[in-house]
Copies of this chain bind each other. A is one copy, B any other.
Amino acid sequence: MPEKIKVAIVGSTGYTGVKLIELLLDHPLVEIVAVTSEQYSGQAFSEVYPAFLDIFDQKCIKLEELAAKSEAENIKLIFFATPNGIAMERAHAFITRGIDIIDLSADFRLKDLETHFKYYQLERNQDSVDLNNEAIYGLCEANASKIRAAKASIAEGVLIANPGCYPTASSLSILAFLDFNKRSKNNNLTELFNLQDIIIDAKSGASGAGRKSTTANLFCEVNESFKAYNLAHKHRHNPELEEFFSIYSETKINLTFSPHLLPMTSGILATSYFSLNKAALSEFDLDDKAEDINNKLREIVTEFYKDSHFVKVLKPGQYPNTASVKGTNNVHIQVEYDEYTNKIIVCTVIDNTVKGASGQAIQNMNLLYGFDENLGLNQKVRVI
């Protein structure tokens, strides 16, 4: 068995931090040697989260202590599970010392820095700008080969920008179709799917808001309630999705993204809508029988994810349920064609703190170091 790599978690007591620890404790090739928390520094992690009593009692340190610690301990990888703006300032110093970083915040997700500033209002220095150019967008199902190759091509530490939770669920709904259109185009075929007009209606559990003490996050405000928010391009994940789709498909894509807040802790469900280009059906040996189109849609998605450990296409008649992926890095997808309206509806669920954050971060780590992609991420099913 290879030697364990030593990792640190910055911002360990937030929800993505604690989920990282929960998962990494079960990873055979990782040793957690430092966890930081500004609020709880000096306390044992298990004092903050008694669930970890006798399981993970490591003392939290401050971020400013991490440089020395990382040298002393020979830390290889740091997860930033921090509010936006921290990694932007601190990542560079570690990267230059050869430490890899997986950033779960939004600091390095957007290549377009103007858009980033518009949505996040955070200034960045030149180091951060340079680093942003190097950062790899860590949507594993799209960029696995790039991540696998990263250590070879980059002398310094590698920086992976872990995608947002909504963008993960949403992208995995559309990816197969973006890819299909791209390959069609490359083969001089007409695009079968109108992907210039995607609507993504997404719903997230409350852990997506993090462990922030605001009135809006209180139990009595979230419980037995459901609401939309930040409609019409006001949510930060809207431009993240558009940039990623545009890069991936090599076409400028705008889309309508509508987030909603669910009265439950974990899970995201994205319902996506786009239309079929009926004019192109014949090029793909299809007439417009709904059954055939449904089969084709299923085939496209199944084929695209055939080597994925985590993405599973449900059988006809089954619908994705957030409860079925809870605690896991799994993704359940269903696709259906509505013959009366010519709409294709894709429904995808993830656990927002796992595949939407910490699980995907570990998947990225596995890819980066050439581990099995699903190492430490298997068999976490939690039905009850």
Chain A residues with a Cβ under 8 A of chain B: 15, 18-19, 22, 25-26, 47, 49-56, 197, 199, 201, 203, 205-207, 211, 213-215, 217-229, 231-233, 254-256, 258, 260, 262-267, 269, 271, 273, 312, 314-315, 318-328, 330, 332, 334, 336-341, 343, 345, 347, 349, 353, 379, 381-384
Contacts and interface: CB of A to CB of B under 8 A. Distances in A.
Most chain B CB neighbours (cut-off 10 Å) among A228, A229, A324, A330: A228
A345 B258 contact: yes
B260 A271 contact: yes
11 contacts: A19-B383, A22-B383, A50-B324, A53-B314, A53-B324, A219-B222, A219-B263, A225-B322, A226-B322, A256-B343, A256-B345
Contact of A231 (B221, B321, B347): B347
Given A26-B379, A332-B53, A215 B211 contact: yes
A47 B219 CA distance: 20
Q: How many copies does the complex hold?
A: 4
A25 B379 contact: yes
A219 B231 CA distance: 23
Nearest to A199: B273
B219 A218 contact: yes
A51 B338 contact: no
Contacts of A264: 223-226, 263
Contacts of A266: 224, 384
Contacts of A314: 50, 53
Contact of A219 (B217, B254, B312, B353): B217
B197 A341 contact: yes
A338 B384 contact: no
Contact of A256 (B47, B226, B312, B338): B338
